[in-house]
């Protein structure tokens, strides 16, 4: 392994053949064997992690249930204090964790650092939130009565996360769930288990130092079968799952079958509308980062550009020349713009999407291809491509998790909005315009149908302060900021009678 990576692994407590736990205690030792984490950067095996078997899973549930009995009684601001300490610990390891995320997932080092910064930010948000879990008070219709609502912890929150944000998405869930008084069991992506293990080590240290039960933060490892143990388990009232729409449909149904709650954060098919009134410098930069950043592996990646016909050719030419300047290679080397895809299956999916869209009539403006030779030994590096394609083409309707940008032309804004909304997904969206009427129309009830709608900003790179998530096949869940915390608590309505009578609601009379 590269020397810097080995040093970061050591700091983060990752070795080869990692037990699936942070604590090193027996309750997480399993008989399910080990699986390896491979880096898409150079194809190296980074380390192996123990998978979770059924018996271990039962032990984890027991630890989590026990911990909940204590944790739910800790006052919320004190729970916030634990999260504050976690944020401080993350500040200390930011560079090492960012580097591991970059090496294990393949995103640039800057983005790896950004992901850890996002974790720190959500810690700060959660600390403040721990004093603001507000309920409403209502005026009772009965004399001498008072009504109000309280928000109580739910119990165990099961977090299933995707490979592309291997640590930030967990923190959006866990930090909020913890101040809400819940305990968490995390099943990270089997493609990025080490970044998760590193986080679990950090949390376990803070729990130990704070003399809090270790079951407040639990980690289980393995593929979808390990995730299924949680989705089918009635002891887990909330499953928060991030990943593909295909996964969300299965998970959503499994949780609904036991009348549990699910919070789904699924695929996007995000578009930017570029109008004739756009600042084209901003539009091109926004589209470029949105389409090729993280090698097109963000749920908010810009996948479609919908461009007004009068500026279409200019946008096309400027994008082509910007793409020609992209440097593809090792994401840890800061001179490179685009890193690898997560694995060779993702490369196959990219090539197959390009072939399919071309077979339907798509025209390659910036050609696709796989890079070979020195520096590309992992076989995971692909060329970001641009394809002129119609919105209704099968592949344009589908999220391919790779840097493929589809270009569409429009005449009127109504036509552009219809095209924009004319896909099954509804995560992030943007309009580039300096015209107030166009911007407001896009943000209106008759405009974008997405959970996120931006003006003069691309589709990717959300801040933690807002609620994050999307509509339609994106799953409808909201995480992170605003009042997303409500999903992690149960609401209780309380009516208190301090009078000497017992009047019934709605004036109903019942006399004996
Ligand atoms: P994926 O669906 O293959 O896997 C995601 C997670 O779900 C993994 O941990 C996996 O093991 C687990 N899983 C899969 N099937 C399961 C099942 N039947 N039961 C329980 N768990 C199961 O997704 P991926 O390839 O890791 O990530 C890419 C996808 O995630 C893209 O579609 C992307 O748009 C989406 N994503 C969405 C958001 C969002 O907030 N909306 C954020 C990040 C990624």
Residue 23: pLDDT band with limits 50, 70, 90: very low
Above 70 in pLDDT, residue 283?
A: yes
What pairs with residue 186 in β-bridges?
A: 159, 219
Question: Could you give the residue ranges of the DSSP H alpha helices within 381-493?
Answer: 413-421, 436-443
Q: Which of 199, 185, 81 is nearest to 130 (CA)?
A: 81
Is 299 among the catalytic positions?
yes
Cβ(125) – ligand 1 distance below 6 Å: no
Separation between Cα atoms, residue 362 and residue 357, nearest integer Å: 5
- Among residues 180, 184, 199, 299, which one is catalytic? 299
Atom of ligand 1 nearest to the CA of 268: 34
Known active-site residue 265: yes
- Output the CA–CA distances (angstroms, integers) from residue 232 to 66, 225, 239, 251, 255, in the order listed: 20, 11, 10, 9, 6
319 alpha carbon to ligand 1 midpoint, in Å?
Answer: 30
Place 32 in a pLDDT band, splitting at 50, 70 and 90: confident
pLDDT above 80: residue 28: no
Residue 373, number of CB atoms within 10 A of its CB: 7
Question: Of 89, 115, 118, 265, which residue is the catalytic one?
Answer: 265
Range scoring the smallest mean pLDDT among 17-31, 129-143, 146-160, 169-183: 17-31
Which numbered atom of ligand 1 lies nearest the CA of 265?
Answer: 41
pLDDT band with cut points at 50, 70 and 90 for residue 467: very high
Mean predicted lDDT score pLDDT of the chain: 96
Instruction: Compute the distance between CA of residue 455 and CA of residue 220 in angstroms, rounded to an integer.
Output: 40
Whether residue 158 is predicted with pLDDT greater than 90 in this model: the reply is yes
Structure confidence at residue 148 (pLDDT):
98
Ligand 1 pocket, 243 CB below 6 A?
yes
Of 40, 170, 243, 290, which is best to mutate to test ligand 1, by the most ligand atoms within 8 angstroms of its C-beta? Answer: 243
Confidence band (pLDDT; 50, 70, 90) for 27?
Answer: very low
Distance CA 319, CA 328 (A): 16
Q: Running DSSP on this structure, what letter comes out for residue 499?
A: S
Question: What value of ipTM does the predicted structure carry?
Answer: 0.98
Q: Are 36 and 18 in contact (CB under 8 A)?
A: no
Q: Which residue has the tokens 């490369």?
A: 347
How far is 86 from 406, CA to CA, in rounded Å?
41
Dihedrals φ, ψ of 415, to 5°?
Answer: -65, -40
pLDDT given for residue 276 in this prediction: 98
Instruction: Please tell me the distance from the alpha carbon of residue 166 to that of residue 225, in angstroms, as a whole number.
Output: 19
Instruction: List pLDDT tens digits, range 90-102.
Output: 999 999 999 999 9
pLDDT in tens, 287-309: 999 999 999 999 999 999 999 99
Provide the 10 A C-beta neighbour count for residue 355: 13
The residue whose CA is least distant from atom 11 of ligand 1 is: 224
């Amino acid at each position: 392994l590269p020397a810097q990576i080995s040093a970061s692994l050591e700091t983060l407590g990752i070795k080869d053949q990692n037990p699936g736990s942070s604590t090193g205690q027996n309750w997480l030792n399993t008989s399910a064997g080990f699986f390896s984490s491979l880096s898409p950067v150079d194809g190296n095996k980074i380390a192996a992690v123990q998978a979770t078997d059924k018996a271990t899973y039962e032990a984890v549930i027991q630890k989590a249930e026990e911990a909940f009995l204590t944790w739910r009684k800790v006052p919320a601001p004190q729970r916030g204090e634990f999260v504050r300490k976690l944020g401080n610990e993350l500040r200390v390891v930011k560079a090492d964790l960012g580097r591991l995320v970059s090496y294990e997932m393949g995103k640039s080092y800057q983005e790896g650092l950004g992901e850890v910064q996002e974790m720190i930010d959500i810690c700060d948000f959660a600390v403040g939130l721990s004093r603001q879990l507000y309920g409403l008070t209502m005026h009772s219709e009965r004399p001498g009565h008072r009504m109000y609502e309280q928000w109580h912890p739910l119990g165990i929150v099961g977090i299933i996360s995707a490979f592309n944000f291997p640590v930030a998405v967990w923190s959006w869930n866990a930090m909020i769930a913890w101040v809400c008084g819940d305990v968490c069991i995390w099943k990270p992506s089997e493609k990025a288990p080490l970044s998760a293990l590193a986080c679990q080590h950090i949390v376990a240290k803070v729990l130990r130092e704070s003399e809090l039960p270790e079951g407040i933060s639990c980690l289980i490892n393995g593929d979808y079968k390990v995730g299924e143990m949680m989705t089918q388990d009635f002891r887990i009232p909330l499953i928060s799952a991030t990943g593909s729409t295909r996964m969300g449909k299965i998970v959503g149904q499994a949780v609904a079958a036991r009348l549990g709650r699910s919070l789904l954060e699924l695929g996007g098919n995000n578009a930017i509308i570029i109008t004739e009134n756009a600042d084209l410098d901003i539009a091109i930069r926004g589209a470029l980062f949105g389409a090729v950043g993280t090698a097109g592996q963000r749920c908010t990646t810009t996948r479609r550009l919908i461009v007004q016909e009068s500026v279409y050719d200019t946008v096309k030419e400027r994008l082509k020349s910007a793409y020609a300047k992209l440097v593809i290679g090792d994401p840890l080397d800061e001179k490179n713009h685009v890193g690898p895809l997560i694995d060779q299956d993702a490369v196959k999916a990219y090539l197959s999407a390009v072939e399919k869209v071309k077979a339907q009539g798509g025209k390659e403006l910036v050609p696709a291809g796989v890079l070979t030779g020195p520096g590309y030994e992992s076989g995971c590096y692909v060329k970001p491509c641009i394809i002129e394609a119609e919105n209704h083409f099968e592949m344009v309707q589908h999220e391919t998790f790779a840097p493929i940008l589809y270009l569409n032309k429009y005449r009127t804004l109504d036509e552009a909005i219809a095209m924009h909304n004319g896909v099954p997904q509804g995560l992030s969206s943007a309009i580039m315009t300096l015209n107030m009427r166009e911007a407001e129309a896009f943000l209106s009830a008759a405009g974008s149908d997405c959970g996120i709608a931006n003006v003069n900003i691309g589709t990717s790179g959300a801040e933690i302060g807002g609620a994050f998530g999307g509509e339609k096949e994106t799953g409808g869940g909201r995480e992170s900021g605003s009042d997303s915390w409500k999903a992690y608590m149960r609401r209780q309505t309380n009516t208190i009678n301090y009078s000497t009578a017992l009047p019934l609601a709605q004036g109903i009379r019942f006399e004996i």
